[in-house]
């Protein structure tokens, strides 16, 4: 009985060691090609929400919704974003956000930018 318990413990430690090594390797590989992006408060963004609806062809529907506006930067990869003036903001990871380059920005986003004191150049450029 004791030998089985000690064998299981040693196998468990070995498995944890290999998992840690593999996760470090995968992080290094991800970081090689990952791009650092930063969004500013008041910037218009698209949100990636690939929602599948029964009876609707997913090939013909866009997974990008928007424009939304960034209301707060929680940390370097997490942002609060809202769609309209009355909607409460939701939290999204930066991997699901893309900068909006369209001309048809709703009027409330311009009002939001003025209230926040955002300059037009600062909100349209990506750092």
Confidence check: pLDDT of 1 > 50:
yes
φ, ψ (nearest 5 deg) of residue 45: -135, 155
120 and 62 within one domain: yes
Give the model confidence (pLDDT) of 48-105 as tens digits.
998 888 888 888 888 999 899 999 999 988 999 998 888 899 999 999 999 998 888 7
Confidence check: pLDDT of 123 > 50:
no
60 and 27 within one domain: no
User: Is 39 a domain residue?
Assistant: no
- The percentage of residues in the chain with a pLDDT greater than 70, rounded to a whole number, is 91
Give the model confidence (pLDDT) of 54-64 as tens digits.
888 888 888 99
120 and 60 within one domain: yes
Closest CA to 68 of 99, 22, 93, 37: 99
CATH code: domain of residue 63? 2.30.30
Host H or E run for residue 122: helix 120-124
Segments forming the whole domain that contains residue 71: 44-124
Instruction: Report helix, strand or coil for 66.
Output: strand
103 and 52 within one domain: yes
Count of structural domains within the chain: 2
89 and 65 within one domain: yes
Confidence check: pLDDT of 31 > 90:
no
112 and 56 within one domain: yes
């Amino acid at each position: 009985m004791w030998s089985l318990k000690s064998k299981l413990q040693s196998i468990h430690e070995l498995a944890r060691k290999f998992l840690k090594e593999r996760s470090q390797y995968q992080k290094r590989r991800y970081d090689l090609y990952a791009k650092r992006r930063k969004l500013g408060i008041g910037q218009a963004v698209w949100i990636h929400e690939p929602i599948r609806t029964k009876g609707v062809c997913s090939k013909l529907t866009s997974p990008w919704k928007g424009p939304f506006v960034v209301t707060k930067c929680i940390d370097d990869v997490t942002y609060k974003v809202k769609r309209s003036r009355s909607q409460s903001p939701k939290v999204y990871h930066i991997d699901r956000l893309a900068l909006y380059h369209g001309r048809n920005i709703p009027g409330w986003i311009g009002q939001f930018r003025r209230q926040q004191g955002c300059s037009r150049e600062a909100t349209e450029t990506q750092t």
